[in-house]
Amino acid sequence: MKTRNLFSSALLALSMLALAACGDDTSRVTVKLTDAPGDDFEKAVVTISKVYLKGDGAEGSGEVVLRSEPVTTDLLTLANDTADLVKDAEVPQGTYRELRFVISGAYVQVKEDGVTRVYATDDYEGVPAGVKVDGELQMPSLSTSGLKVKFANDADVEVTSEQTQKVILVDFDVAQSFGKAAGGSGRWVMSPVIKGADLEFSSNVVVTLKAGAGLELPVVGDTQVTLSAFNAVLVNAEGSREPLAFTDANNDGTFEANFKFLIPGAFQVEIEGPAGVSFTTNPGIPASVTATGGAESRADFTLTSVVEL
C-alpha cells in the first residue's frame, strides 16, 4: 500500500500531452515509481540499472530499452508520491509482453530489537561512506534478465497510435520485497514485489475522521488529545501497512488522509490513536474498501468515544 526528489494516490487524470518529435509510428512512454512502505524499515535503497520493454518477436518489437543509466533511490521517500524513473522515452507502437527492471544492488536499514542494522548486497557501492554493514542482503539474479513488473491479469503493455503519451505507474512494495532469510542465518533476502498499472487507471482512497456530537477529547498528561494525533492506516492485500496523519485541510472539523497513486485492488482501513488512549469508531475498524481504476474511494469514520488508559 507508498519517494520524492530524484523521481517525483487522490484521483488523477492522465494528462495527454501533445509532444513534438514523436514519429507517426512511435509514442512517448513515462514510468513513475511509487512505494508501499513497511513498518520497521528506515531505509530501502536500490540501484535500478536498466528498465526495458520486452516485445513479441513475431511483431518485430523485440527489446526496447527505456533507461540504461543506473539510478539509486531510497524507496521509502516515495510513499504517497511518485518520481519519474523514465521520462518521455520514444517507443515504437505495439504490444509488449513485459516491463522489466534490472536491479544491480540494494541495502536496507531496519530496526531489530530496538537496534538499527544495515544489510547490503555484496560490495554494494550505494552504501554511504562510514555506514557499517551488519549482514548480507541476498538478491536473486535480478542483474541479468531483470524482474518482471506484474500487471493485473498478466496484461500486456499496449503502446498505441491513440496515445500521445503513455504513463505507467509502478509500485515497489518494500514490506513484501525484503525479509529475513529462513533458518536463523541473520541474512536478509530481496525478492521484489513490483506491480504496474496505467496512471490513468490508478486510484486513491480518502479516509475521514470527525468527532461525534458532544464528544470531549481527553487530556493525557499535559497534552490535549486532538484529531490530528490520529493516523489512518491503509493495508493492502499482501499485508503492507501505510500510515498517514489526518489533517483538517478544509478547517471544517472533518480530518482527512488521502492515499494517492494506488494500484487498484482491495484494502483494509484502520485507525491508530495516540499513546495513552483507547477509542471506538462508527463504523468499527478495520473497514474494507476497494480502490477501482481511475476513481476515488472513501472510508468515513466518526469517533464515538475516547478515554484515557
Pair 301, 219 in one domain? yes
Residue 279 belongs to what H/E stretch? strand 277-282
Cα–Cα distance for residue pair 156/153, rounded to 1 Å = 9
Q: Give domain status of residue 12, yes or no.
A: no
192 and 82 together in one domain? yes
Q: Are residues 232 and 166 in the same domain?
A: no
Mean pLDDT by 10 residues, the chain (309 residues): 33 30 72 77 93 70 87 90 91 90 93 90 93 91 77 87 84 90 82 89 94 95 94 92 91 94 94 96 97 92 96
Number of domains in the chain: 2
Cell 518482471, residue located: 148
3-state secondary structure of 69: coil
pLDDT tens-digit map of 83-104: 899 999 999 888 898 999 999 9
C-alpha cell at 156: 500486456
Query: Which of 201, 228, 261 is where one domain is finished?
Result: 201
pLDDT at 21: 37
Q: How many CB atoms lie within 10 A of CB 293?
A: 15
Residue carrying the nine cell digits 491479469:
153
51, 173: one domain? yes
Examine residue 15 and state whether it is found in any structural domain, yes or no. no
Q: Could you please report the per-residue DSSP string of 17-44?
A: ---TT--TTEEEEEEEEEEE--TTEEEE
What does the pLDDT look like over 168-201, one tens digit per residue? Answer: 999 999 989 999 887 777 789 998 889 999 988 8
If asked whether residues 42 and 143 sit together in one domain, one would say yes
Question: Which residue among 171, 201, 231 closes a domain?
Answer: 201
74: in domain: yes
What is the per-residue pLDDT for 1? Answer: 44
Q: Is residue 272 part of a domain?
A: yes
The partner residues of 91 in beta bridges, in order of sequence, read 27
CA–CA gap between residue 17 and residue 165 (Å, rounded): 6
For the four alpha carbons of 117, 120, 123 and 124, in that order, the dihedral sign comes to negative
Instruction: Specify whether 161 is located in the same domain as 286.
Output: no
Identify the domain containing residue 68 by its residue range.
Answer: 26-201
Would you state the pLDDT for residue 143?
62
277 shares its domain with 298: yes
Distance, in Å, from the CA atom of 89 to the CA atom of 166, rounded to the nearest integer, reads 10
Indicate the burial class of 267 (C-beta count within 10 angstroms; 0-12, 13-18, 19 or more).
buried
Residues 154 and 267 in one domain: no
Burial 29-60 (b: 16+ CB within 10 A, else e): bbbbbbbbbbeebebbbbbbbbbbbbbeeeee
In a domain, 3, yes or no: no
Residues 50 and 178 in one domain: yes
Helix (H/G/I), strand (E/B), else coil: 175: helix
Q: Walk across the sheet containing 165-173 and list its strands.
A: 83-92, 26-36, 165-173, 194-198, 150-151
Task: State residue 80's pLDDT score.
Answer: 83
Q: Do residues 54 and 167 share a domain?
A: yes
**Which of 150, 176, 201 marks a domain boundary?**
201
Q: Give the CATH number, domain containing residue 246.
A: 2.60.40.10
Same domain, yes or no, for 196 and 217?
no
Question: What is the pTM for the complete model shown?
Answer: 0.78
Within a domain: 208: yes
257 plus 188 within the same structural domain: no
User: Residue 48 domain-assigned?
Assistant: yes
DSSP structural state of residue 87: E
| pLDDT attached to residue 39 | 65
